[in-house]
């Protein structure tokens, strides 16, 4: 959750709006997010020192550590542990793969359900997307229109690429999609688009399309 917040598109806007507040926290320097070590006030040196204090002393001395490893861990036991760890790792990999696949299918199912509710009766998802594009993308040049549309699509994809990591099918509802779309519509990057209503509808449908085609 912390990673998603720190890398969200709207964080810079929130920081800008609250920069005059006495309780504001400095998150940016020269327009760039500060390193995690500074944001979390972490000191690498202190972490190393703490780790060394908690470890047995021979772990911190390479030569003694090498000798202790052979003395404290007989060859057969070491081989057995290696085999056990390998088997456990394979089980975890299979479980995680199955979990991700199941989660993806559930999200796609939720997206198809939303498609039925959000698409205009008698129309299709692609047809509605094309219709809304012509409402908010009013540039005269055809090339300029295509470039603007692709820029918007890229922005949505980048935003969803970060959001989808924590997105659950049970939370992928019409209200959730609306909130995601509003966040993007109100971002500084889309400030110059005039027809916000059409743009917001386009973003909603494009998000459904992305999830549907996972």
For residues 184 and 72, the model is more confident at 184
Mind giving me the DSSP string for 143-208?
Answer: HHHHHHHHHHHHHHHHHHHHHGGG--GGG-SHHHHHHHHHHHHTSGGGTT-S-HHHHHHHHHHHHH
pLDDT at 81: 57
Q: Is the pLDDT at 28 greater than 70, yes or no?
A: yes
Q: At what angle do helices 174-185 and 196-212 cross, to 10 degrees?
A: 130
Token pair recorded at residue 150: 């692709």
Distance CA 192, CA 188 (A): 8
Length of the chain as a residue count: 214
pLDDT at 128: 93
Say if CB 112 and CB 210 are below 8 A apart: no
Q: At what angle do helices 196-212 and 75-118 cross, to 10 degrees?
A: 140
For residues 58 and 157, the model is more confident at 157
Compute the average pLDDT of residues 83-110: 66
Residues 6+ apart with CB under 8 A from 111: 172, 208, 209, 211, 212, 214
pLDDT at 20: 57
pLDDT at 60: 60
pLDDT at 95: 45
Say if CB 115 and CB 180 are below 8 A apart: no
Report residue 92's pLDDT band, with 50, 70 and 90 as the boundaries.
low
Token pair recorded at residue 94: 């299979």
Report residue 169's pLDDT band, with 50, 70 and 90 as the boundaries.
confident
Q: Is the pLDDT at 93 greater than 70, yes or no?
A: no
Residues 6+ apart with CB under 8 A from 15: 24, 27, 28
pLDDT at 35: 78
Whole-number average pLDDT of the chain? 77
Token pair recorded at residue 15: 């920081």
Compute the average pLDDT of residues 73-93: 56
Token pair recorded at residue 54: 């908690």
pLDDT at 182: 92
Q: Is the pLDDT at 41 greater than 90, yes or no?
A: no
Report residue 104's pLDDT band, with 50, 70 and 90 as the boundaries.
confident
Distance CA 47, CA 4 (A): 24
Q: Is the pLDDT at 180 greater than 50, yes or no?
A: yes
Q: Is the pLDDT at 132 greater than 90, yes or no?
A: yes
pTM of the model: 0.54
pLDDT at 7: 77
Q: At what angle do helices 125-136 and 196-212 cross, to 10 degrees?
A: 150
Compute the average pLDDT of residues 137-144: 83
């Amino acid at each position: 959750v912390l990673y998603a917040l720190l890398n969200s598109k709207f964080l810079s806007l929130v920081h800008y709006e609250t920069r005059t507040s006495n309780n504001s926290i400095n998150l940016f320097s020269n327009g760039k997010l500060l390193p995690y070590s500074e944001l979390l006030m972490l000191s690498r040196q202190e972490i190393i020192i703490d780790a060394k204090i908690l470890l047995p002393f021979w772990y911190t001395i390479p030569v003694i550590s090498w000798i202790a490893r052979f003395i404290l861990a007989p060859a057969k036991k070491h081989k057995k542990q290696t085999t056990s760890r390998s088997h456990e790792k394979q089980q975890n990999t299979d479980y995680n793969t199955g979990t991700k696949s199941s989660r993806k299918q559930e999200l796609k199912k939720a997206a198809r359900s939303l498609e039925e509710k959000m698409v205009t009766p008698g129309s299709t998802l692609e047809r509605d997307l094309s219709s809304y594009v012509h409402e908010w993308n009013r540039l005269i040049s055809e090339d300029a229109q295509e470039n603007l549309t692709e820029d918007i699509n890229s922005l949505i994809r980048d935003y969803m690429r970060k959001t989808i990591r924590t997105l659950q099918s049970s939370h992928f509802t019409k209200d959730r999609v609306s909130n995601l779309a509003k966040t993007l519509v109100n971002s500084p990057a889309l400030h110059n688009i005039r027809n916000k209503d059409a743009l917001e509808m386009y973003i909603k449908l494009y998000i459904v399309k992305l999830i549907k085609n996972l």
